[in-house]
Chain A
Amino acid sequence: MKNKVKRYRQFSEMTQSQLADLIGVSRQTIHAIEKEKYVPSTVLALKLSRELKVKVEELFTLEIKD
């Protein structure tokens, strides 16, 4: 799954730590999501979409291999 978390986080002028604190996860988790090494749960994806003020479909997109 591809995602644009890093792009929208930088657009919102937030650091990884600030975003992590807002949604209640560790900075390592935000880093892993941005590097596409970890696919978040639905709850976490919705929280990210809420804090970054963007639709979840815009934030995450399926790839052919998914």
Chain B
Amino acid sequence: MKAKYLFSHKWKPIGLTLFIIGLTLGTIGVLSSYEPVFLDVRVPDFFGNSSFLNNGSSSETGWPQMRKNNLFDEIALSLLLIGGLLSILAKEKNEDEMIMKLRLESLLWSAIVNGILIFITVWLIYDLDFYFVMITELFFFYLLFILRFNFVLMRQKKLVDEE
């Protein structure tokens, strides 16, 4: 069976490495509010004057507005996103239809568990804490998938090796 939308296996270790680096940087950023000065740049803010997001309170005119921003969190989140996607979408060395089935089951499982966590978050966490947890949960889906899929593969391999 041809596996559509999957990358070559060589991308898996690269994806996992990027994901772990992103996770580490993200955790450092969240726990210590670390923002190195050399990453302070001026960036275009396309929604800075939006009445929906900014209450129309910005005094600047023109579009897009330029604003100062530290790129540390953008880099960490990009590494998490790219690494997570590569880890999910990279083929296994011995990719076949059963591995594909295990991959799809793991995706479904991760979607269900993440959905339950989001539901709990909606009802139990409020204000800024809510937004912080929601951003974390965006990437928690990838983490859940990576852990579950690799655990199932490892268990399968162990069963065969024991015989």
Q: Which A residues contact B (CB, under 8 angstroms)?
A: 16, 24-29, 31-32, 38, 40-41, 43-44
- Asked if A29 and B97 make an inter-chain contact with CB atoms under 8 angstroms apart, the answer reads yes
Chain A residues closer than 8 Å to B1, beta-carbon distance: 41, 43-44
Residue of B nearest to A26 (CB): B94
The main secondary structure of chain B at its interface with chain A is helix
The main secondary structure of chain A at its interface with chain B is helix
Chain B residues closer than 8 Å to A41, beta-carbon distance: 1, 97
The stretch of B33-41, B65-73, B123-131, B152-160 that contacts the partner chain: B152-160
- Asked if A31 and B97 make an inter-chain contact with CB atoms under 8 angstroms apart, the answer reads no
- Asked if A31 and B160 make an inter-chain contact with CB atoms under 8 angstroms apart, the answer reads yes
Chain B residues closer than 8 Å to A16, beta-carbon distance: 160
Q: Is B74 an interface residue (CB 8 A)?
A: no
Residue of B nearest to A34 (CB): B163
